[in-house]
Structure 1
Amino acid sequence: MALIQTSLIWVAYAVAIAILLAIASVFVFTYQAPRERAASITVISIFTTSALLATVLLLPVDVALVSATNRSKYGIKKDWATPDTVEHILYTLKIVYYTLYSLDAILCLLVVPFTYFYFEEYDDDAAEDGSQTVAQRIFGALKYTFFFLVLVVLLFLVGFFVPFAKGIKHGDHSTNLDYFKKLLSENHGERALTFTLGLLITLGTLIYVLYTAAGLALLPVSLIKSAPAVSAPSLAQSTASHLDANRERQRQLERRNEGREGGLDSRDRRELESLIREERTLVRRERLAAEASGEHRSWLVKAWNKLEAIFRPVKLVGGILLMGVALLIWTSMLITGIDKAKNSVCGAHCGYILGHINIFQPINWVLVQSSKVFPIDYVLFLLLVLFFFSASVVGLAAAGIRFLWVVIFQIRKGHTRPQALLMATVMLTLIVLAINYSVAMLVAPQYATFGPQTYCDLAPRHPGEQPDCSHDRAAIRACSELAENPVARDICTPSVASTFINRVTANFPFFGVVDFWAQFVFLGVYLIVFVTTLFRTPKLDYEQLDADLVEEEEEGLLASTGRRFNATWQDIAGRARKPNANYGATTNGEGEGHAADGE
């Protein structure tokens, strides 16, 4: 029975990995520029994104495996859950965790930088005349990657020798609880990896605070405000009609002034200049409408555009639901943050580890209750992680990759350069490590540590036996780090993920303090962006055909807010009503033409 149960849990994880691989592929192919696509960058980006998501999604597997050893209905261990069996499960989980964490660190610090420099080493002219070989590109990339190799070695050396906490202070006395003692008992190799990943989590938290917080507020609002004010077919026909009228008016002016000495008079010259400027605007709008309607594209793109139009009402409802989920997550994080700040076992000395939850927290409660029936909690956790990941991508797309106020790269659908894609992958790797900390420590701390495990808070009738709560269900308690009953240490098994994260904050309290208080900054950034987006349309999901030509007013025609069901139907049908043949241009006293197109 135990083998079947654990096997099913690992099979569910394998299925999740396959889903993650598909999601990572869609993410990379959606955002990278087709004309600059490179096989090496595509493969590394997909593999790195899959690896970092797989690391986070190991948590519900971890919780399910340790919870499977506990009979939560009676607060006792299952018969097959002997100490050796439990130790084997934990050992297997540790191997998988250390493998994934090490892989993430190597990808982030070595593989991705090497791929970046390898791509930068490519020279078009040298490649054409055959003077540049693959070996030369590899050698050039290795020269620049050597700095990152030195950085990795230094991090591990610092982790070997840096002073770490000798004990955990609780008030005026040292805590003697076995759980906290185990956090400090580790060898030098574990401490080096702990320090390295603690540093990466802290760096990722700084990025997570800015990008993920903003994206968490922007993502639902962008779905709600995604319905266009003007359908693409209607805009294309209207623009074509206006463009024909504009050019006809220009020809009239030119014919009227043919043979006139001195050419156009001042009034006609101003009108002609205005028409020329307007013509450029209409040409840009025509290109934007053609891009939006999928003209000159494959049938697959056209079918996708129609499908998007059909599901616009669904996007609206989904945006409202996601907004509710985001607010629920924000509330849950705030509750846990206040609880930790007020009731932490050892405060800043161990990164605000919370012995047990003192205030009801909705997200944590839902996951704990759903974890009693696997894989319901796994599905919910997968959706939660993908929500955070999507919010991070939206935040990157909204702000771009920047240093202070200087934008280095833009992240846009179908227009992201290879270098930008690699840098975004590194940033997402660090962000996901921070998400792992945030979910485990603030969003769902009880779930991430013990899941639904319970223990019987009664003394056993005979030495060596488990306590019996079958006749006294009121004595069944939820497992926690501060369980005072000695029997709880044998019944409750903390997850490997929570133990590892707590080990980081207990051995290196500085990381724990920074990571914990950064969560409040995250909540503040989310609140500011959320309130702002309620009154201002986010400019997130648009195709920039020509960065120098497409202006904000053209974008507004296809991405303005409001529900326009007539525009939606026209996008589905692929045609619009016949526009009025009259151009509608008026001329002011100065003779300057203005299109009556609503601008």
Structure 2
Amino acid sequence: MALIQTSLIWVTYAVAIALLLAIATIFVFIYQAPRDRAISVTVVSIFTIGALLATVLLVPVDVALVSSTTRSKDGRKKDWATPDQVESILFTLKIVYYTLYSLDAVLCLLVVPFTYFWYEEYDPIAEEDGTQTVGSRLWGAFKYTTAFIAIVLTLFLVGFFIPFGKGMRNGKHMDLDYFKKLLSENHGERALTFSLGLLVVVGTFLYVIYTASGLALLPVAMIKSAPAISVPRLAEDTSSQLEQNRERQRQLEGRAEGRDHMDSRDRRELEALVREERTLVRRQRLAAEAGGEGRTWLIRAWHKIEAVFRPLKLIGGFLLMIIALIIWTSMLITGIDKARNSVCKHNCGYILGHINIFQPINWIFVVSSRVFPIDYVIFLLLTAFFFSASVVGIATVGIRFLWVTIFRIRKGHTSPQALLLATVLLTLIVLAMNYSIAMMVAPQYTTWGSQKYCDLPAKHPGEQPDCSQNRAAIKYCTELAENPVAKDVCTPSVVSTFINRITVNFPFFGVVAFWAQFAFLGVYLTVFITTLFRTPRLDIDQLDADLEEEEEEGLLATTGRRFNATWQDITGRSKKRQATYGTTDNDGHRNGGQSSD
């Protein structure tokens, strides 16, 4: 029974990983520019995004495995859950966690930078002349990557020799077994803990800026994103206007023939027509790209799918808005609870012994964890929501240094360099997201799952008490459970132990990560209130030469919602065109419509 249950949990995780790889592939192909596509950039981006999502989705697997060792109905360990068996499960989880965390760090700090410089070193002219070889490209990329190698070595060495946080070692709670196990004694584990703790802190600042903004923008953008005009109708109107514009230009130029100079009024009109022509040409190119001309089949299919599900965007937007507000409220409740009732405050990064205030998201997870994989599906959707919000935040804010925009993230227009930098940002954000979901969104679920213990004294040493006749004595496991029975029954998840180990051994990391959550809540609230009264734009501070094209793109993303526009985007034909030319069969013959005469 134990083997079947654990195998089912791991099989579910494997299916989720396969699904995530497909999502990561679609994400990369949707956003990257087809003309600048590079195999190395595509592969590294897909693999990195898949690895970091696999890290986050290991959390419900962890919780399900430790929860499967106890019986909730009487608060006792299952017969098969011997200490050796439980230790074997935890050891397997530790290996997977450390592998994924190390892989994320290596990808973020070494592989992605090397790929970035490898792409930058490419010179098509030098390659044709034979002056650039694969070896010279490798050496050029490696030369610039040495700085990142030095950073990785420095982090590891500092973590290897840095002393422990002394505040908790002599604290009044260190006599509890849960806190004793958090202090690292292995130098290698300490080095990894320090390195990842530092990356989590760096990622937390990005998480506050990008994910908080995206969490507020995504639902509102879905509600306000239905177009007022379809792509086929825009293309037809633009072509008609462009033809009229050029005809008027020919008339003005013809009127000026035979004269020494053009009339001043005609010259001003001609200059205005030339400016309008440039605008119409940009609009025509935009409509062609939105319609899928010159694009890959995946981009065209994506536009069709968007058009099909566009009527559901309004409902989905309101639903996501409600979910985001519930998440915001849950995080605020947990933050207040931790600030007031933490067992050791800043000395251990505000670890919460047990939940003192009802928290809705945590309650939903704890209840659903009784039947696997309901909680896993909910967690998958929650992770997808946070990840999508992070992507929307990066696309909206852009990749910046202070107030200077370095790269923009746009569907079908993202350069390879921007895609790699966005991948690094997402990696750091996901590490911070891991902390936020585990410690703020659903802390009890992430630590103990649905585990309960019988809070009665054992009749004999080593024997588990029986609460079958006293259900009131069955309690949820907590960090502060002092009953010796809880020590034998309750098993904390590996992810909570690892995160709490970071905050206990290096309290500064825990303090920064904890208080940054309030900044996250503040940024979300500010952006949410702002977007209620302002239509979201791709890049609100765009001041470069592409501003006019961005404004033209607003024609396809206004606040109006028309069913006709949606239907025309699905069929690829406007009613005006169908009325004029009729429909065509597979052989190209017209059926209906007005005659050409």
TM-score (norm 1): 0.92
Note the C-alpha offset of 1:461: 2.3
Which residue of structure 1 aligns with residue 583 of structure 2? none
Which residue of structure 1 aligns with residue 522 of structure 2? 524
Note the C-alpha offset of 1:368: 0.8
Note the C-alpha offset of 1:408: 1.1
Q: Deviation above 6 Å: which 4+ runs of structure 1?
A: none
Which residue of structure 2 aligns with residue 204 of structure 1? 203
Note the C-alpha offset of 1:253: 2.4
Q: Is 1:415 aligned to 2:404, yes or no?
A: no
Which residue of structure 1 aligns with residue 444 of structure 2? 446
State the distance in 2 between where 1:45 and 1:72 align: 42
Deviation string, structure 1 residues 334-365 (Cα, Å, up to 9, x no partner): 01000000100100000000000001111111
Q: Is 1:324 aligned to 2:322, yes or no?
A: yes
Deviation string, structure 1 residues 473-493 (Cα, Å, up to 9, x no partner): 011101000112111111100
Which residue of structure 2 aligns with residue 33 of structure 1? 33
1:72-91 aligned at under 5 Å gives the runs: 72-91=72-91
CA contact (8 A) 2:283 2:549 kept: no
1:24-423 aligned at under 5 Å gives the runs: 24-168=24-168, 173-260=172-259, 262-295=260-293, 302=300, 304-423=302-421
2:488 to 487, 490, 494: 490
Aligned residue identity for 2:58: L
Note the C-alpha offset of 1:541: 9.5
CA contact (8 A) 1:41 1:422 kept: yes
Note the C-alpha offset of 1:169: 7.5
TM-score (norm 2): 0.93
Aligned length: 575
State the distance in 1 between where 2:137 and 2:300 align: 40
State the distance in 2 between where 1:497 and 1:362 align: 21
Deviates more, 1:100-109 or 1:345-354: 100-109
Note the C-alpha offset of 1:258: 2.9
Note the C-alpha offset of 1:33: 1.4
Deviates more, 1:532-541 or 1:196-205: 532-541
Note the C-alpha offset of 1:254: 2.6
Q: CA 1:305–1:552 in 2, change beyond 3 Å: closer, same or farther?
A: closer
- Give the secondary-structure state (helix, strand or coil) at the position aligned to 1:578: helix
Q: CA 1:41–1:224 in 2, change beyond 3 Å: closer, same or farther?
A: same
Aligned residue identity for 1:270: R
State the distance in 2 between where 1:185 and 1:17 align: 31
2:509 to 505, 508, 511: 511
Which residue of structure 2 aligns with residue 567 of structure 1? 565
Deviates more, 1:440-449 or 1:388-397: 388-397
CA contact (8 A) 1:284 1:549 kept: no
Note the C-alpha offset of 1:521: 0.2
CA contact (8 A) 1:167 1:184 kept: no
Note the C-alpha offset of 1:300: 6.4
State the distance in 2 between where 1:299 and 1:517 align: 46
Note the C-alpha offset of 1:77: 0.5
- Give the secondary-structure state (helix, strand or coil) at the position aligned to 1:352: coil
CA contact (8 A) 2:454 2:466 kept: yes
State the distance in 2 between where 1:404 and 1:304 align: 33
State the distance in 2 between where 1:161 and 1:15 align: 40
- Give the secondary-structure state (helix, strand or coil) at the position aligned to 1:222: helix
Note the C-alpha offset of 1:296: 5.3
Deviation string, structure 1 residues 437-467 (Cα, Å, up to 9, x no partner): 0000000000000000001111122322111
Note the C-alpha offset of 1:573: 3.4
- Give the secondary-structure state (helix, strand or coil) at the position aligned to 1:184: coil
Note the C-alpha offset of 1:293: 2.4
Aligned residue identity for 2:250: R
Note the C-alpha offset of 1:301: 5.2
Note the C-alpha offset of 1:549: 7.4
Aligned residue identity for 1:220: P
Q: CA 1:303–1:495 in 2, change beyond 3 Å: closer, same or farther?
A: closer
- Give the secondary-structure state (helix, strand or coil) at the position aligned to 2:358: coil
CA contact (8 A) 2:173 2:343 kept: no
CA contact (8 A) 1:169 1:349 kept: no
Aligned residue identity for 1:255: G
State the distance in 2 between where 1:404 and 1:365 align: 40
State the distance in 2 between where 1:282 and 1:98 align: 55
Deviation string, structure 1 residues 492-527 (Cα, Å, up to 9, x no partner): 000000000000000000000000000000000011
Q: CA 1:354–1:561 in 2, change beyond 3 Å: closer, same or farther?
A: same
Deviation string, structure 1 residues 117-140 (Cα, Å, up to 9, x no partner): 222222222111112111111122
State the distance in 2 between where 1:281 and 1:430 align: 40
Which residue of structure 1 aligns with residue 588 of structure 2? none
Note the C-alpha offset of 1:399: 1.1
Which residue of structure 1 aligns with residue 584 of structure 2? none
- Give the secondary-structure state (helix, strand or coil) at the position aligned to 1:283: helix
Note the C-alpha offset of 1:80: 0.9
Deviation string, structure 1 residues 227-250 (Cα, Å, up to 9, x no partner): 111111222222222222222222
Aligned residue identity for 1:79: D
CA contact (8 A) 2:184 2:190 kept: no
Note the C-alpha offset of 1:151: 1.4
Deviates more, 1:26-35 or 1:52-61: 26-35
CA contact (8 A) 1:76 1:455 kept: yes
State the distance in 1 between where 2:123 and 2:293 align: 34
State the distance in 2 between where 1:213 and 1:529 align: 8
Q: CA 1:145–1:552 in 2, change beyond 3 Å: closer, same or farther?
A: closer
CA contact (8 A) 1:222 1:540 kept: no
Note the C-alpha offset of 1:304: 4.4
Which residue of structure 1 aligns with residue 533 of structure 2? 535
- Give the secondary-structure state (helix, strand or coil) at the position aligned to 1:244: helix
Aligned residue identity for 1:321: L
> Structure 2 stretches of 5 or more lacking a match?
578-597
> Structure 1 stretches of 5 or more lacking a match?
580-599
Note the C-alpha offset of 1:384: 0.7
Which residue of structure 2 aligns with residue 3 of structure 1? 3
Note the C-alpha offset of 1:551: 3.6
State the distance in 1 between where 2:459 and 2:151 align: 57
State the distance in 2 between where 1:33 and 1:297 align: 10
Q: CA 1:385–1:300 in 2, change beyond 3 Å: closer, same or farther?
A: closer
Aligned residue identity for 1:101: Y
Aligned residue identity for 1:151: I
Deviates more, 1:222-231 or 1:191-200: 222-231
Deviates more, 1:519-528 or 1:98-107: 98-107
Note the C-alpha offset of 1:185: 4.2
Question: Identity rate of aligned residues, in percent?
Answer: 76
- Give the secondary-structure state (helix, strand or coil) at the position aligned to 1:168: helix
Q: CA 1:521–1:578 in 2, change beyond 3 Å: closer, same or farther?
A: same
Note the C-alpha offset of 1:538: 1.1
State the distance in 2 between where 1:89 and 1:520 align: 35
Which residue of structure 2 aligns with residue 478 of structure 1? 476
State the distance in 2 between where 1:359 and 1:246 align: 67
Note the C-alpha offset of 1:95: 0.9
State the distance in 2 between where 1:298 and 1:351 align: 49
Which residue of structure 2 aligns with residue 591 of structure 1? none
Note the C-alpha offset of 1:303: 5.1
- Give the secondary-structure state (helix, strand or coil) at the position aligned to 2:400: strand
